[in-house]
């Protein structure tokens, strides 16, 4: 799966809108789930890849003892800057880093984790090999990826709405990237190619996504993700119209007022051999 610059560009107002809308809409429950899993491993040194605006980092800071070091990284400096501006309950280290070439020594961390970032790696096996390299023997690589778009109802509904807006060239960011890397066999093969030869555990986790209005969902997806880049590449002035259309689509399918949609993801865990 190839990714373009636009697919990975979380810049401009996207970090703020992402944090304001997308984080409570879909990311918070999985952040709590992932942080709980990390805490159960009792690590002393943790590396987070693709930390975004820091929702998992904040959970880790709350759950892990003060003596546990937490290094949180992201490719996009704008996302890290916004995460740092929100802050954490204790000191963590923020560092810009490319998952394809991590700036850390071999055997440095007990746990490497990544929330919904693996889909964006241009070469999954290379990124997984880097995670393995910086893990200490016996350490755990823990990450999650979204399930099929059909099992993530808000994303599916908005993707269908955008296809009606651009029938000849439908924006497919959500289906292609966030919801395009869910096949367990494909993920397992990339982990093996990255050097993880031991057991792999796949856990499918479902939650419900809730918002106070269809408009909140529409703004979240159309303006707080790189879907926005796809829309504006097609028509620089289309954003308001696209958001209005997405609002109508969510209202039609889920009703007005408070809305609820199903979300689903896979959590994957693999250990570096001792």
Work out the pLDDT band at 5, boundaries 50, 70, 90: very low
> What average pLDDT does the segment 160-167 reach?
97
Q: What is the pLDDT of residue 86?
A: 96
Would you state the pLDDT for residue 15?
85
Give a yes or no: residue 23 inside a domain: yes
In a domain, 242, yes or no: yes
Domain span holding position 148: 6-271
**Are residues 100 and 131 in contact, defined by beta-carbon separation less than 8 angstroms?**
no
pLDDT exceeds 80 at position 2: no
How many domains does one find in the chain? 1
pLDDT at 4 over 60: no
**Residues 33-86 pLDDT 10s:** 999 999 999 999 999 999 999 999 999 999 999 999 999 999 999 999 999 999
Give dist(CA 201, CA 216) in Å, integer.
35
What is the structure's pLDDT at 216?
98
CA 225 to CA 176: how far, in whole Å?
A: 13
Q: What is the pLDDT of residue 7?
A: 43
Cβ contact 31:56 at 8 Å: yes
Whether 14 is in a domain gets the answer yes
Task: Give the residue with greater pLDDT, 261 vs 198.
Answer: 261
- Cα torsion 51, 33, 147, 255 to 10°: value is -100
Phi and psi angles of residue 2, each rounded to the nearest 5 degrees, phi first? -90, 155
Of 176, 55, 191, 183, the residue nearest 120 (C-alpha):
176
pLDDT for position 199: 87
pLDDT digits (tens, 9 = 90+) for 72-129: 999 999 999 999 999 999 999 999 999 999 999 999 999 999 999 999 999 999 999 9
Q: With 90 as the cut, is the pLDDT of residue 183 above it?
A: yes
The residues, any chain, with a CB within 8 Å of residue 234's CB and separated by 6 or more, are: 166, 169, 171
Could you tell me the CA-to-CA distances from 140 to 66, 128, 195 in Å, in that order?
20, 12, 13
Q: Is residue 13 part of a domain?
A: yes
Mean pLDDT (whole number) for 148-170: 97
Give all strands of the β-sheet with 45-49 in edge-to-edge order. Answer: 93-96, 69-74, 45-49, 109-115, 135-146, 259-271, 200-211
Rounded Cα distance, 131 and 187, in Å: 14
Average per-residue pLDDT for the chain: 94
Q: What pTM, to 2 d.p., does this model score? A: 0.93
CA distance 9 to 75: 10
Q: Based on the number of CB atoms within 10 Å of its own CB, is 37 exposed (0-12), middle (13-18) or buried (19 or more)?
A: middle
Residue 1 has pLDDT above 50, yes or no: no
H/E element, 45: strand 45-49
% pLDDT > 90, the chain = 93
Residue 274 pLDDT class (50, 70, 90 cuts): confident
In a domain, 126, yes or no: yes
Q: Find all residues with CB under 8 Å of 76, minimum gap 6, and list them.
A: 8, 9, 10, 11, 15
Assigned domain for 109 exists: yes
Assigned domain for 249 exists: yes
Is position 1 within any domain? Answer: no
Q: Whole-angstrom Cα distance, residue 214 to residue 217?
A: 5
CATH of the domain at 258: 3.40.50.150
């Amino acid at each position: 799966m190839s990714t373009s610059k636009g697919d990975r560009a979380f810049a401009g107002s996207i970090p703020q809108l992402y944090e304001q809308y997308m984080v409570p809409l879909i990311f918070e429950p999985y952040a709590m789930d992932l942080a709980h899993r990390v805490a159960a491993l009792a690590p002393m040194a943790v590396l987070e890849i693709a930390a975004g605006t820091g929702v998992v980092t904040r959970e880790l800071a709350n759950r892990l003892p003060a003596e546990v070091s937490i290094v949180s990284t992201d490719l996009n400096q704008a996302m890290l800057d916004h995460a740092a501006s929100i802050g954490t309950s204790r000191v963590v280290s923020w560092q810009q880093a490319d998952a394809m070439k991590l700036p850390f020594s071999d055997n440095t961390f007990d746990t490497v984790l990544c929330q919904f970032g693996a889909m964006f790696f241009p070469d999954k096996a290379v990124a997984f090999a880097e995670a393995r390299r910086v893990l200490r023997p016996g350490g755990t690589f823990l990450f999650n990826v979204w399930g099929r778009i059909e099992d993530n109802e808000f994303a599916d509904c908005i993707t269908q709405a955008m296809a009606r807006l651009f029938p000849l060239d439908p924006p497919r960011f959500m289906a292609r990237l966030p919801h395009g890397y869910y096949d367990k066999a494909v993920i397992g093969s990339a982990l093996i190619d990255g050097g993880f030869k031991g057991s792999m555990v796949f856990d499918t986790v479902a939650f419900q996504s809730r918002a106070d209005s269809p408009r909140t969902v529409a703004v979240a997806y159309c303006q707080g993700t790189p879907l926005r880049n796809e829309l504006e590449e097609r028509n620089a002035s289309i954003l308001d119209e696209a958001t209005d259309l997405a609002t109508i689509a969510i209202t039609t399918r889920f009703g007005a007022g408070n809305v609820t949609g199903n979300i689903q993801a896979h959590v994957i865990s693999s250990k570096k051999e001792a």
